[in-house]
C-alpha cells in the first residue's frame, strides 16, 4: 500500500531534521508520496527527488504581533496540505510545537481523518518537558497523537515518567544513510590538508556546542588522551554557545597547536572517516546520531551514560561508556584504544557490525511503515 505522508521537522542542521528528511527520502524511494511541510527546504533535500514535494510554511512578522505566530501558520498550512493532497498521515518530529499543530490540523480537517504520528527526539522532552509552561501542551499533543514513537528506550521511559502518561510510546531507533556513512574513502590527504601527519592520531567531536554537550569536558578528555598518546590531535566540528568557552580552555591548557575548531561542515562523513575516535560526553542525549555516524564509519565512540547513548554504543565493544562529568576517565579510555592496535581494530569492526545489525535504514523504515499501517487500520 503506498501512502501520502506529510512530514514536519525543523529543517535546519540537527539530528532530528536529518532523520526526518532521510526517512522521507527512503519512503519516497519505496513509492510513497512525501510532502515536507516546513519553513524552508530541509538541508538534506539538496536535489529533486521523485515523489517528494515541499510546502513552505511562511512565517511573517506583522506589526500587530509581538511574536510571529509560527505554530498557527504551520497548523493552517498542514490543514491546507491535508485537504489538497488528501494525506493519510502527518508524521511530525518534535512534540513542541509540531505535534500540537498536527493535532490542531487533524481537528480542522476532521472529515479527512488524517492520522498523526509523533516522533520524540529528546530536547522536546528532556528540556522542554521540564518547563511547567509547556508541560500541559506536550502532554496534550502526545495524548492526542494516534501514535507516539521515541528514538530510544531511555527517552520513551523518561517521557512516561515526566508526563505521567499511560500512552504507549514505541521505540524506533534512528538510522543513517549507509551510502554516505561507511569506512571507505580517502583519509590521509584530508588529514594533511588540516596539517595533521598521516601517522598521527585524531579524535573528533561534533555537536551544536550547547551546554548539554559539555564541550569543555571534551577538551579535558583530550588533554588526558594527549598525556598518554602524544601524537594526537582533536578536531571540533560545529558551532554554538559554548564554542568560545571551549576555545579559551584550550588556550588555558596550552594545547592550541593540537586542537582545530572547524565550525559547521557539510561533509561530516569524510571528517569522521579521517578520525580514530569520537568523544560524545553530553549530560543529556536521547540518542546521539553522531555516535551512530561514527560507528558506521568504523570509528569507536567514547560516550557518557546519558540517555540513549548506551543503547547506541556498547561499552567495551564498540567504544566505552563513562560517567557524565568525568572527562579524565573518557580520555584514559580513548588512550587504551589508541595504544592497542588489535583491540582498536576489533572495536572498529564491532561498531560497523552493530550498525548493520541494529540500525539498518531498511529495517527502521519498515518499522515506521508498520506504524503507519497500524494507525490507518483504525480508520
Q: Which three cell numbers stand for residue 321?
A: 561508556
Q: In angstroms, what is the minimal distance from the CB of 145 to ligand GMT?
A: 17
Question: Of 39, 13, 16, nearest to 209 (Cα)?
Answer: 13
Phi, psi of 335 (to 5 degrees): -65, -35
The window from 67-75, 102-110, 139-147, 285-293 that contacts ligand GMT (CB under 6 A) reads: 285-293
Return the sign of the alpha-carbon dihedral for residues 11, 17, 21, 27.
negative
The window from 44-52, 162-170, 280-288, 321-329 that contacts ligand GMT (CB under 6 A) reads: 280-288
Contacting residue, 11, 24, 129, 288, with ligand GMT by CB under 6 A: 288
In the DSSP assignment, the letter for residue 154 is: H
Cell 502527518 locates to 90
Residues 85, 26: Cα–Cα separation, whole Å: 20
Q: Judged by CB, which is closer to ligand GMT: 6, or 307?
A: 307
Q: In angstroms, what is the minimal distance from the CB of 80 to ligand GMT?
A: 26
280 binds ligand GMT (CB under 6 A): no
Contacting ligand GMT within 113-152 (CB under 6 A): 121-123, 126, 151
Contacting residue, 19, 37, 218, 371, with ligand GMT by CB under 6 A: 19
Residues 183, 364: Cα–Cα separation, whole Å: 21
174 binds ligand GMT (CB under 6 A): yes
16 binds ligand GMT (CB under 6 A): yes
Q: List, in order, residues 6 or more apart from 348 with CB less than 8 Å away.
A: 183, 298, 299, 300
Q: Judged by CB, which is closer to ligand GMT: 308, or 327?
A: 308
Q: In angstroms, what is the minimal distance from the CB of 263 to ligand GMT?
A: 16
Number of CB atoms found within 10 A of residue 249's CB: 19
CB 80 within 8 A of CB 61: no
Q: Judged by CB, which is closer to ligand GMT: 96, or 225?
A: 96
365 binds ligand GMT (CB under 6 A): no
106 binds ligand GMT (CB under 6 A): no
97 binds ligand GMT (CB under 6 A): no
Q: List, in order, residues 6 or more apart from 33 with CB less than 8 Å away.
A: 2, 3, 4, 5, 51, 53, 85
Q: Judged by CB, which is closer to ligand GMT: 265, or 343?
A: 265
Contact residues for ligand GMT (CB under 6 A)?
Answer: 14-16, 19, 121-123, 126, 151, 174, 208, 210, 212, 284-289
Amino acid at each position: 500500500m503506498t501512502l501520502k505522508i506529510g512530514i514536519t521537522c525543523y529543517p535546519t542542521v540537527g539530528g532530528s531534521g536529518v532523520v526526518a528528511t532521510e526517512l522521507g527520502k527512503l519512503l519516497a524511494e519505496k513509492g510513497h508520496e512525501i510532502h515536507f511541510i516546513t519553513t524552508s527546504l530541509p538541508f538534506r533535500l539538496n536535489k529533486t527527488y521523485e515523489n517528494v514535494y515541499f510546502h513552505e510554511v511562511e512565517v511573517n512578522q506583522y506589526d500587530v504581533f509581538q511574536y510571529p505566530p509560527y505554530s498557527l501558520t504551520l497548523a493552517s498550512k498542514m490543514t491546507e496540505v491535508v485537504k489538497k493532497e488528501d494525506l493519510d498521515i502527518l508524521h511530525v518530529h518534535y512534540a513542541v510545537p509540531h505535534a500540537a499543530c498536527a493535532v490542531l490540523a487533524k481537528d480542522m480537517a476532521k472529515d479527512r481523518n488524517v492520522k498523526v504520528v509523533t516522533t520524540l527526539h529528546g530536547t522536546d522532552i528532556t528540556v522542554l518537558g521540564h518547563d511547567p509552561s509547556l508541560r500541559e501542551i506536550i502532554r496534550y499533543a502526545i495524548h492526542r497523537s494516534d501514535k507516539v514513537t521515541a528514538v530510544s528506550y531511555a527517552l520513551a521511559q523518561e517521557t512516561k515518567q515526566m508526563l505521567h502518561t499511560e500512552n504507549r510510546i514505541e521505540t524506533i531507533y534512528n538510522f543513517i544513510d549507509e551510502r554516505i556513512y561507511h569506512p571507505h574513502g580517502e583519509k590521509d590527504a584530508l588529514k594533511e590538508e588540516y596539517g595533521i601527519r598521516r601517522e598521527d592520531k585524531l579524535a573528533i567531536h561534533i555537536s551544536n556546542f550547547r551546554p548539554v554537550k559539555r564541550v569543555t569536558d571534551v577538551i579535558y578528555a583530550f588533554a588526558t588522551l594527549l598525556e598518554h598518546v602524544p601524537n594526537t590531535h582533536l578536531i571540533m566540528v560545529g558551532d554554538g554557545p559554548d564554542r568560545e568557552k571551549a576555545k579559551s580552555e584550550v588556550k588555558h591548557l596550552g594545547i592550541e597547536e593540537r586542537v582545530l575548531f572547524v565550525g559547521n561542515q557539510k561533509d561530516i562523513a569524510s571528517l569522521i572517516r579521517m578520525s580514530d575516535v569520537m568523544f560524545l560526553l553530553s549530560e543529556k542525549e536521547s540518542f546521539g546520531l553522531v555516535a551512530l555516524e561514527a560507528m558506521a564509519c568504523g570509528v569507536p565512540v567514547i560516550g557518557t551514560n546519558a540517555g540513549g547513548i548506551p543503547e547506541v554504543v556498547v561499552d567495551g565493544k564498540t567504544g566505552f561508556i563513562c560517567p557524565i562529568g568525568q572527562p579524565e576517565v573518557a580520555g584514559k579510555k580513548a588512550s587504551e584504544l589508541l595504544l592497542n592496535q588489535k583491540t582498536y581494530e576489533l572495536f572498529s569492526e564491532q561498531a560497523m557490525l552493530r550498525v548493520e545489525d541494529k540500525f539498518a535504514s531498511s529495517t527502521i523504515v519498515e518499522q515506521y511503515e508498520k506504524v503507519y499501517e497500524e494507525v490507518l487500520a483504525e480508520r
